[in-house]
A and B are shown apart, each in its own frame.
Chain A
């Protein structure tokens, strides 16, 4: 018991030293060097599972060469606009990226070659588990240690312009509806059936 406890304490202490290596990147420290554009127009409503988004991203060509030398991967994500974060603490924006919950849906992850600076683009069908909300698109650039170093987004710094909406699937099917109703009716009817049976037996 004592050795187990000692091991637990030791591993807890050691893990504290590991913390500085991961999860300390702040969003405010990132450079906005990526240009990201997406096909949805402002206020457009897209249907989950059906409609496609075309995302184009690339490094701002006006920046000096070498800015992007550390970028290894670009990850594109679907992020909640402010209006969809109201009274929903599980979507909160926090500066510490490890705890930030603004961008919860992955669109794509692509390797990046600094030598080839042309923009990349892809088509993405809105996934069926994307909830009904207002969104924008953001891309993060990661270095070789998988730490965020830069970003770009389709909206402005205040996240107010060029937002689009997604209409989620309801998840309901006719079969589920019918089964629900049938089983419910069956439960109630069988109760009265039992009552009737009891009354008959008592006489």
Chain B
């Protein structure tokens, strides 16, 4: 304990050196994509790669479904149910993951989940019926909750001016896995089959690739990652630098914040839609346009692969509009982009020829994925104490959207896939409207400026999550630092003093 005490005092007089410029919480204020400097950029690369691996595993089955459905004698209903199962596991897992991050840190939380779901991917190779297929897809889908740990980790490592970008790039490059897998799996399957295996054996062997990738990425996270710029949770907790919070308090402050619920709903109609499309698009192109497995896979892949720029672009756009218009700009950008995504979804359902269908799909993917990035430009500001839980709720809401859309429009043979896609577009537009209801007293909402009835500050908003006892114990200090750093969300026209705000509307 002597040593720990000494370390704290040394820290106060001599701040540790970081490769990137940092703010008062030691979060990086710059985002350098091609650096692997510890701890910030290293955490970035570890989190997006492990998240990518989880996406590859979760959506490894869809491109091979034309083979699997014959091997396991599946019906259209079986396939629909398995698709729903693959995204429903993560609904609650994401919320649990949020809380786990708040309590144990993103590194341990994500690596544990990844290693515990890897068996489900290995067992996919030995599935022999529609029930076992559904079960393995269900348990594999739990790994999608590493999304929450990714966003949490980025929000812990990167400061307000770049958090949207960091979240967007990490989320986007992870989501890329959903597209990459549509290319990788048919390729690996083809290779193994050409070596001489029967079709019904080749797809089974192919599943070892995503499974191994997942296992290895978890090892990398455990060995090379750090929870916070200053170190890992456990060590910091022992040194007194990181306070331990109570689950019930974190939970309470998360679920009572209505903004978390609204974002959960709207995220269901950008990310949830993305998951749904990942599940159905390969089969859609294969069956509707009579393409080869390989070709359908390539087209399906281009949807997910757009994530390499689209989601990061959403994050960047969020940060760019925030510089000028603050939080109000973030909200408007999110609403506009997501609504346009819904419009292109409707068009996709109406287009009947191959070429235009591909073009519309790509445009649709750009908008829908950018909306995901824009959502996580807003999430870090909803709560500081329950950041993990809010991220988890939003992420979980994404999966609920996927479950709902697949249940309503893509189960069995009630609607043809193209009609389902069109109706999904209508639902996107309707479920994006609640963004108009989000209001921050200190920054405003889409249609209202910041509160002028009383002087509302960032400190008031974030301190409202702590009661006076907790403040006496000093548990609120991290939130105070964050409040100070978040003053930028007022936009450029405001100055940083807590003076009565200007009534003039920018938008």
State the A residues within 8 Å of B (CB).
8, 12, 49, 86-90, 99, 128-129, 131-133, 168-173, 176-177, 179-181, 183-188, 190-191, 194, 198, 202
Distance in Å from the Cβ of A189 to the closest Cβ of chain B? Answer: 9
Distance in Å from the Cβ of A112 to the closest Cβ of chain B? Answer: 27
Residues of B within 8 A of A190 (CB): 115, 219
State the B residues within 8 Å of A (CB).
66, 69-71, 73, 75-77, 108, 111-112, 115-116, 118-119, 122-123, 125-126, 128, 198-201, 203-205, 208, 211-212, 215, 218-219, 222, 234-235, 238, 287, 290, 355, 412-413
The reply to whether B126 and A172 form a contact with Cβ atoms under 8 Å apart is yes
Distance in Å from the Cβ of B213 to the closest Cβ of chain A? Answer: 12
CA distance A111 to B321 in the complex (A): 70
9 additional contacts (CB under 8 A) given A8-B355, A88-B76, A191-B115: A87-B76, A90-B287, A129-B70, A131-B73, A133-B73, A169-B200, A176-B125, A176-B201, A179-B125
CA distance A190 to B351 in the complex (A): 50
- State the majority secondary structure of interface residues on A: helix
The reply to whether A171 and B238 form a contact with Cβ atoms under 8 Å apart is no
Residues of B within 8 A of A87 (CB): 75-77, 412-413
CA distance A27 to B489 in the complex (A): 67
Residues of A within 8 A of B128 (CB): 170, 172
Distance in Å from the Cβ of A101 to the closest Cβ of chain B? Answer: 9
The reply to whether B234 and A198 form a contact with Cβ atoms under 8 Å apart is yes
The reply to whether B215 and A187 form a contact with Cβ atoms under 8 Å apart is yes
Shortest Cβ distance from A201 into B: residue: B235
The reply to whether B76 and A171 form a contact with Cβ atoms under 8 Å apart is no
Distance in Å from the Cβ of A117 to the closest Cβ of chain B? Answer: 36
CA distance A188 to B112 in the complex (A): 9
The reply to whether B118 and A184 form a contact with Cβ atoms under 8 Å apart is yes
30 CB-based A-B contacts, threshold 8 Å: A12-B355, A87-B75, A87-B77, A88-B76, A89-B287, A89-B413, A90-B287, A99-B290, A128-B199, A129-B200, A131-B70, A171-B199, A171-B201, A171-B204, A172-B128, A173-B201, A179-B122, A179-B208, A180-B123, A181-B122, A183-B119, A184-B118, A187-B116, A190-B219, A191-B112, A191-B218, A198-B108, A198-B234, A202-B234, A202-B238
Residues of A within 8 A of B355 (CB): 8, 12
The reply to whether A187 and B119 form a contact with Cβ atoms under 8 Å apart is yes
The reply to whether A89 and B76 form a contact with Cβ atoms under 8 Å apart is yes
Shortest Cβ distance from A172 into B: residue: B126
Distance in Å from the Cβ of B114 to the closest Cβ of chain A? Answer: 9
